Amino acid sequence: MAQQKFDLVVIGSGPAGEAAAMSAAKKGMRVAVVEKRPLVGGNCTHKGTIPSKALRHSVKQLMRYNTQSVFRALGEPRRLTFPEVMKSVNKVISMQVEMHTSFYARNKVDLVIGDAKFIDPHKLRVQLPDGAVEILTSDKFVISTGSRPYRPEDVDFDHPRVYDSDTILDMQHTPQAIIIYGAGVIGCEYASIFAGLGIKVDLINTRSHLLEFLDDEISDALSYHLRYMGVTVRHREEYAKVVPSDSGVIMEMQSGKRIHADALLWCNGRSGNTETLGLDSIGLKANHRGQLSVDDHYCTEVENIYAVGDVIGWPSLASASYDQGRAVAAAIAGRGHRVVEDAPTGIYTLPEISSVGKTESELTAAKVPYEVGRALFKHTARAQISGERVGMLKILFHIDTHEILGIHCFGAEAAEIIHIGQAIMKQPAPNNTIDFFVNTTFNYPTMAEAYRSAALDGLNRVMRL
């Protein structure tokens, strides 16, 4: 039984774990990363962010080919099977794994493949794929094991027509109709993807509105465009029973409805990957969803054990996880700490959504005097050229100080466009105002010039008061 001593051991090689390991190594620590999968990258690379976004891109290209008249000279509209589209996704995953693997060698971080389990607060038992065992001793540990889809016990996920957001990537057929249970971010993204492939989608939402954390206008726009794509959105519904068979799946609802489709995709919640870590042996307990509580330094209740990424819950974004990983390495090294807040939201539906800052509802509830500036993409030359005319940019700002309070974008490249506004919002006063966009020259034609149009629209509203 081999034993090794480290300054820091990170469990999990997703965005949070990788960032913590690389940052700690650059600070002079001897670091090891334990990864359960045979390849690095975590759920982000293999099951979550990268595969779903690569899948979305391929579907978007297919939709463009099928809807723009310029391509008709090349032939009639085409349909692709789900496995055909997944081929391009697997190529992206391979490139990501190769790139991330090189980071560990370059930074001299030891990579151990195996199942990790705590012996005590300073010792970790790792069972290797060949059955051998290694004991890793370390001053500090970072748990970054991520999360997995929540699976209720009364749903048979072993049935070949029942999937969750991990197993859907292995689907070997193309259903004519699919039920998606859960209209959170993942459910809405897959609803637009499958609708883009020409598949009939029933999207079951247990709440009153789609993605209620969004600005109301953006949520309404998403609902409209999903329906425009052919998605049937069913609000305030909860399942009573799932009945799979060789010919399809019937979902019986508590409302009495019975919905039939060829397959079911379950997207209702996620659970932290903590059940096999032996937390009892170190006096640590996860909540009912397998998530760990941490303080402002990302430290758990055990003083030398930290946690970052999806395993601590909200905001469960790859972007925030990278920042949390770097922040925890700084905290461990005694170089200050940073709580990751105000991460921009990126939702890769078709069209995509991104936002940062406050919503109209939040500002109204707080009785903040604000005004709205809007720019519709259909009025911008770049959108007309690219054919991406659906969407808008919306800026919320204080009536008196013109301080930017929130930015919300719906449409093509929203997750890219949002960062321009985010950069200005983060500037110290008085440089964080909507006036920046009026006093700055933007390239023409670009999507970014929507900021100038939205700023002029908002300031004109203020002048009318």
Q: Which residues are annotated as a binding site for FAD?
A: 35-44, 53, 145-147, 310
Q: Round to whole Å and give the CA distance between 140 and 281.
A: 16
CA 335, chain centre distance (Å):
29
Task: Find the helix or strand (DSSP H, E) in which 112 lies.
Answer: strand 110-113
User: What are the φ/ψ torsions at residue 347 (nearest 5 degrees)?
Assistant: -120, 120
Q: Which residues are annotated as a binding site for NAD(+)?
A: 182-189, 269
The string of DSSP letters for 249-317 reads EEEEETTS-EEEESEEEE-S-EEES-TTS-GGGGT----TTS-----TTSB-SSTTEEE-GGGG-TT--
Q: CA-to-CA distance for 35 and 322, rounded, in angstroms?
A: 17
Instruction: Sort 322 into a burial class: Cβ within 10 Å, 0-12 / 13-18 / 19+.
Output: buried
Alpha-carbon distance of 345 to 152, in angstroms, equals 28
Are the C-beta atoms of residues 109 and 53 closer than 8 Å to each other? no
CA 63/CA 92 separation, integer angstroms: 20
Binding-site residues sit at 35-44, 53, 145-147, 182-189, 269, 310
Name 316's Cβ contacts closer than 8 Å, sequence gap at least 6: 147, 270, 310
DSSP one-letter string for 82-107: HHHHHHHHHHHHHHHHHHHHHHHHHT
